[in-house]
Amino acid sequence: MIAEKRETGYLLITLQNSKEQFTIYLQSQLSKSKPNLRNRLIVLLMILICHSFQSYTQGGNMTSDFISRGTILVAAICKDGILFISDSRACFILNKEHSNKVYAFFDNDQKLFSIGKFVIASSGKSMLDKTFFGQIVDEFNNTIKKTKNVENTFDDFINFLRHNHNLSDSVIFEEGTQLIIAGYENSYPQIVARDHKGKTREGRGGRMIHSFPEFAKFVHRTQSTNGTCDEIAPLLEAAIYNYATFKSDYRFGGPLHIIKINPNNSQTIIKSFEPNKFKNYRDMAEAIINNKIEVNYLFPFSEELLKRTLQEGIELGY
């Protein structure tokens, strides 16, 4: 339920379900004749590519950030290739005093992308510099002039984010964000991951890197099994869905994207789906506002709040 009341320039919003209630006070400063959109306060909620917007208040002002908080990524070295798996859930999260409630989501959000001759994914931000991660990877691929190894490709991509999109490392590797790249070098498997704590590398059979430490207890069977990709894929698939059920917060789910990277760096698609493709915020916002994609709304107020928020985001230039 939403209750709204304007008093002395403030907007009061109360969100309530059967278990919880919390109230948000926003400084409105709206004018009927000349609405100052820069001062309109929006509860900006976005993808968790799990790809989402986080909104929070500081000193009475609402600011917004493009953050993902749920994506499950798993890269595992098997006998005959590297398995790279992601879920496809994209969530909209209302963050008020650390509540982080998912109030809407859609599936079929692509999170694995070809980068050079390798594969990359991000468990963090769905958007950087107002551009979706997949579109930035496409831009980077157009700049590659010669074949490089896994780690050099990774480092070049980070430098591309720094110099071509003017992003600092604190933005690229915000806490909760992890980039993973995988492929073969001279027939040897390599997985490299980086987050705000630094780099992690794996090159041994039967080992893996995944995006959530607590996920490890769901994959103990596969961690000790150096099997083929066909043998390991269903075990990891079951582990991912078991983990999503365990979390039960709507952040994880949807069809899985499962790729086998072969020793020659060709890719075999084990499982896939028809992805929603957005180049930027406006593409995504207009698709939702115009009901072009199926969105699951979890509360009675969710659809109205999300569409109003996305429209205001467009007007603000996101």
Q: Of all helices (H) and strands (E), which one includes residue 256?
A: none
Residue 7 pLDDT greater than 50, yes or no: no
Instruction: Select from 43, 106, 83 the least CA-distant residue to 253.
Output: 106
| Domains within the chain, CATH numbers bracketed | 2-65+278-315 (no CATH), 70-88+110-271 (3.60.20.10)
pLDDT digits 0-9 by tens, 112-161: 999 999 999 998 767 887 788 899 999 999 998 777 899 999 999 999 99
Residue 45 pLDDT greater than 50, yes or no: no
Q: What is the DSSP letter of 214?
A: G
Q: What is the mean pLDDT of residues 98-110?
A: 83
Residue 53 pLDDT greater than 80, yes or no: no
Assess contact for 267 and 259: CB atoms under 8 A: yes
Q: Locate 224 and state its tokens.
A: 């000790």
**Distances, alpha carbon 275 to alpha carbons 29, 270, 295, in Å:** 40, 15, 14
pLDDT of 192 reads 93
Instruction: Select from 173, 218, 233, 221 the least CA-distant residue to 200.
Output: 173
Stated pTM of the model: 0.76
3-state secondary structure (DSSP) of residue 17: coil
Instruction: Select from 188, 212, 177 the least CA-distant residue to 72.
Output: 212
Residue 96 pLDDT greater than 70, yes or no: no
Lowest-pLDDT range of 44-48, 101-105, 257-261: 44-48
pLDDT of 230 reads 93
pLDDT digits 0-9 by tens, 167-210: 998 888 887 788 999 999 988 999 999 988 888 888 776 688 88
